[in-house]
A and B are shown apart, each in its own frame.
Chain A
Amino acid sequence: MKTFQGRALTGGAWKGEAIVSRQGVNTLATFQKSALMKAKEVVAADQNNPDLYGKVITGKALCLPQTIGSTTGGLVIQTGCYMKAHPAVFLFSEHIDSLAASGIVLARVWENSDVIAVDQLGQDFLDAVKTGDTVEVQDDGTVTIG
């Protein structure tokens, strides 16, 4: 078991499966196909992200450095939360980027979403966590793998 301390941006306790991207997650490219198809689960569609491509991210703990790409990113996360198709938890190894931060805030303020976000978990966290691992998140931003 390994424990990491991050900053709880939108707190909450949660336990479930991790899905990991070692590279920045392009939110629009990841979500757009499933969103357009009105799918109940988001299957990551970013051709440039082999870690996530073709995998379901809905209801999981998405572990990533940051998000990248189009500035629609925040609205895409908000929409994902509105549709209840979002990752249950965002676990950022780095400081959250402005697009993901927008999405998390928009989801909280305008959708009353329960999406959980923790950032600044560190590179060691991203090195340690693997897709399929069980992660447990505490209100205070503590994340335990395994």
Chain B
Amino acid sequence: MAEYKMRLTGEQQAILDGAQGETMAKVMKTVVMFGDIFGAKRLVPVTHKSGHLVTSFGIGLLKPLYKTMDELIDAGIKVQGDFTVDPRPIDYKNVKCSPLEKLLFNKLLYSRQNDYEQQLQKVGIKNKNGFTCACYLPEVGNTPKEGNILSWAESSAVVFANSVLGARCNRNSGMLDLFGSVLGLVPEFGLLTDEGRKASWRVTLKTTRKPTAQVLGSAIGMRVMEAVPYVFGLDEYLGTELNDETMAYLKDFGAATASNGAVGLYHINNLTPEAKRLGEELIRPDAKEYIIDDAELERVMQSYPVMWKNPAAKPGMCFIGCPHASFGQLKEWTENIESGLRDTGRKAVSITTIFTTAPDVAEAFRQSEYYPRLMATGAKLTSICPLMYTNNPLTKKHNIATNSNKLRTYSASRFYEDADLLGIIVGKGERK
């Protein structure tokens, strides 16, 4: 094992050498090899013991995943704390599917879902509600503190934890997220280090109105790729204090930076914790410049390809909540749809409208006065991953609309800004 460059403690070396069995040795070998690629000098303890895994879906094809999980389970290996995981792929009660779609989901796409969920239980999932991409929402409670070191994956969760919560986590991939939680150790490099958290892009906002979070994030992600951007001017629209509303905005903004690019951390001047504490000290002297005005956002929006068979067709279905919606976002959409329906004189939404949120948020929302109001509009509430739903090629015929740039990126869904999507939902401009 002398070929590894990383400095290991005696205990870590013993694991690598097989003291805790062959499977643990492979887990350690994977983490060490991974760290070596990035020049990590050591492994550091994971200080937030609740992990988050990206792989939540039992796609039959992911045989290496199930094989590895079985190997861990057979060796009696579990995570050191617990973990949440991305959303489940299907919910026939709230997201109606044709018999053909069900056949495709059950027999072809997600044929291993039940087996895989049992595997997740055996290695330490938090509970039955632990299926969400937005595990950091207060109702879910997997919310790290500033400075905590994490072993998480899910690009939108990692970028939120790093940027908004000030935790420290690299953009881990599926399996590496689990292995870090098993070992309680992750390699120290990149976003775990002070140097790796410095910005190499200075982004200046010169728009005439508050930008749509998902478009601004998309523009920045496409430009800076995996670099760290420091954004000026957004505090003029969001203020300087993190509250439910700004955190929801930053959740959506970050998801777009991470899926349209590969951003794992951003700083917002005067708003996010490290930017408030360190300010422009966080910007590298050789940082590149990116100025974003109304025309640039319009250019980015126009660059999105429309993947519908007939781009002029009317949307038939829409998903809102990718990443999973916060309680506040559900409340706001409820009010907006009610108001929009009053304007158009309709009693119910004009297309299949599906909101996705964390199971714990859904439970809280169902207890609130807003749930019956949202249901009265004909909208549906679920906790699936819309991306996993749209993996089904049959869903193409639904002409899916969304306000999520992440969903747009990974599916044939078409992106609309909130106001336009609301107009579609409430049938604005249509005859009753």
Contact = CB atoms under 8 A, between A and B. Distances in A.
A130 B158 CA distance: 35
Interface string A55-92: 00000000001111111111100110011000000000
A36 B109 contact: yes
A35 B393 CA distance: 12
Q: Give the size range of B's interface with the partner.
A: 35 or more
Interface string A1-38: 00000000100000000000000101011001101101
Nearest to B62: A79
Contacts of A33: 393
B175 interface: yes
Contacts of B177: 71
A9 B65 CA distance: 23
B33 A108 contact: yes
A70 B59 contact: no
A75 B307 CA distance: 26
Interface string A32-52: 110110100000000110000
B176 interface: yes
A69 B171 contact: no
A102 B262 contact: no
B30 A72 contact: no
A100 B305 CA distance: 26
Given A68-B226, A69-B259, A97-B262, A75 B26 contact: no
A105 interface: yes
B123 to A, nearest CB: 15
Given A98-B170, A98-B190, A105 B61 contact: no
Interface in B256-278: 258-262
Interface string B349-385: 0000000000000000000000000000000000000
B64 A72 contact: no
B26 A110 contact: yes
Nearest to B56: A72
B174 interface: yes
Interface string B210-230: 000000000000000110000
Contacts of B225: 24, 65-66, 68
Contact of B259 (A9, A35, A70, A105): A70
B299 interface: no
B61 A36 contact: yes
B142 interface: no
A110 B28 CA distance: 12
Name the residue among B29, B30, B55, B153 with the largest chain A CB count within 10 angstroms: B153
Which residue, A28, A68, A96, A103, has most C-beta atoms of chain B within 10 A? Answer: A68
B63 A79 contact: yes
A36 B391 contact: yes
Contacts of A98: 34, 38, 170-173, 190
A110 B54 contact: no
Indicate the member of B108, B171, B262 with the most A CB atoms within 10 Å: B262
B61 A79 contact: yes
B188 interface: no
A32 B412 CA distance: 13
A4 B20 CA distance: 42
A128 interface: no
A99 B171 contact: yes
Contacts of A68: 225-226, 261-262
Pick from A83, A99, A111 the residue with the most CB of B within 10 Å: A99
B334 to A, nearest CB: 30
Nearest to A69: B259
A101 B38 contact: yes
A71 B155 contact: yes
| Top 3 A-B pairs, shortest CB-CB distance | A74-B173, A102-B173, A75-B174
13 contacts: A24-B226, A32-B391, A32-B410, A36-B393, A47-B305, A67-B262, A70-B259, A71-B174, A74-B175, A78-B175, A83-B61, A98-B171, A109-B26
Given A82-B64, A98-B34, 7 more contacts: A29-B409, A69-B409, A70-B155, A72-B153, A98-B170, A102-B173, A103-B173
